Amino acid sequence: MIIVARKGITAEQLDYIRERVEALGLRTHVSIGENRTIIGCIGDESRLGGVPMLSIPGVDSVHPVMRPYKLAARDFAADRTTRVPVGDRTFGGEACLVAAGPCSVENEGMMAVTGRSVAGFGAALLRGGAFKPRTSPYSFDGLKEKGLEILARVREETGLPVVTEVLDPRDAELIAGYADMLQIGTRNMQNFSLLREVGQLQRPVLLKRGMSATLKDLLLAAEYVMSRGNMQVVLCERGIRTFGGEMRNTFDLAAIPWLKQETHLPVIADPSHAGGRRDLVAPLSFAAVAAGADGLIVEVHPDPETAMSDGDQSLTLDGFGGLMRDLKVFAEAAGRTL
Ligand code: PEP
Ligand code: MN
């Protein structure tokens, strides 16, 4: 960490700052310039995390030099993307994996039809929420365990591993008993007790970016899971809240290459929640894969008009077939298979 001193700092104030830092086991190096004095702190800067530096007289600003996340940082792993196996598929390998399915598990029939269809079009995983976070407490919030049972039966039939959302730490173990991958949604990205809980389960985690979270916040959320021993984390850019109401969210395309440089974890994109409209799903998918995404998660419904959630952004079954066909060329251009 580098501490920049205020103009006119006194020798006593400078000594005091050095004492505070050195008391925590770090060394200091003072460099007195013409305009400014700078105190370099050498050693484990995380020890300074709890010190309210800006409250110490003479301190003007502080600048961390280390990243606050360690396990999620690119340096932690060899110079490649970490492989995260889910069932018999693997995120972070040569193949770009597409998870597809409805927003909510509504009944067995629609799940079976969707599962068979998306499997036929080359989806790698089946998605579907059994526990749904809804903005209104009066909206349909999922079939719960019955939905999990349906997902497990459709997995049996189609061979597709299942990804489904966990909202509450109290349900995590139950859901892990059925699902191949646990999704943490945008509203829960900083639910720290939930992150700790899934960190203790040996199930891969799909961690979606909080709608108001920075990318550093996202990596620190991943660090919560990883620091509990679960290194199997896949990150997902799903759009953030900005101004303008035309789209449901603003798809942060640059987040994909930025994350790919900053972390060794696989990164996927959710074009359905990003755009919030069926006709935007294909172009956003193409852009994400061209930008280096390791996969996509896409909402698909056999009859979007009757969907119990997110019908307007759900592709039809044929629409999904068209997406997979057209996506191939973008995947190949990015050096991936689909
Ligand atoms: C979902 O995948 O249906 C969902 C609720 O996603 P998000 O958390 O990104 O809104
Ligand atoms: Mn949804």
Rounded Cα distance between 233 and 199, Å, is 9
CA of 140 to the centre of ligand 1 (A): 14
Let me know: does 186 contact 273? Beta carbons within 8 Å. yes
Pair of tokens at residue 148: 């999990």
Residue type, 85: P
Q: Where are the alpha helices (DSSP H) in 159-299?
A: 172-176, 192-200, 215-227, 255-262, 271-275, 278-290
Residue from 164, 167, 238 to probe ligand 1 pocket by mutation (most atoms less than 8 Å from CB): 238
Pair of tokens at residue 132: 């749904």
Closest CA to 165 of 103, 82, 96, 210: 103
* Tokens 């110490």 found at: 56
Q: Which residue's CA is the nearest one to ligand 1's atom 8?
A: 185
103 ligand 1 Cβ < 6 A: yes
CA of 273 to the centre of ligand 1 (A): 7
Strands 181-184 and 205-208: parallel
125 ligand 1 Cβ < 6 A: no
273 ligand 1 Cβ < 6 A: yes
Right CATH number for 84-333 from 3.40.190.10, 3.30.300.30, 3.20.20.70, 3.40.250.10?
3.20.20.70
Instruction: Kindly list the domain boundaries of the chain, sorted by start residue.
Output: 2-66, 84-333
- Which ligand has the shortest distance to the CA of 166? 1
- The CATH architecture assigned to 2-66 reads 2-Layer Sandwich (3.30)
According to DSSP, the residues that pair with 162 across neighbouring strands are 126
Tens-digit pLDDT string for the chain (338 aa) = 999 999 999 999 999 999 999 999 999 999 998 889 999 999 988 898 889 999 999 999 999 888 889 999 999 987 789 999 999 999 999 999 999 999 999 999 999 999 999 999 999 999 999 999 999 999 999 999 999 999 999 999 999 999 999 999 999 999 999 999 999 999 999 999 999 999 999 899 999 999 999 999 999 999 999 999 999 999 999 999 999 889 999 999 999 999 999 999 999 999 999 999 999 999 999 999 999 999 999 999 999 999 999 999 999 999 999 999 999 999 999 999 99
CA of 186 to the centre of ligand 1 (A): 6
Q: Which residue's CA is the nearest one to ligand 1's atom 3?
A: 103
Let me know: does 109 contact 144? Beta carbons within 8 Å. no
Q: Which residue's CA is the nearest one to ligand 1's atom 4?
A: 185
Closest CA to 250 of 275, 271, 268, 216: 275
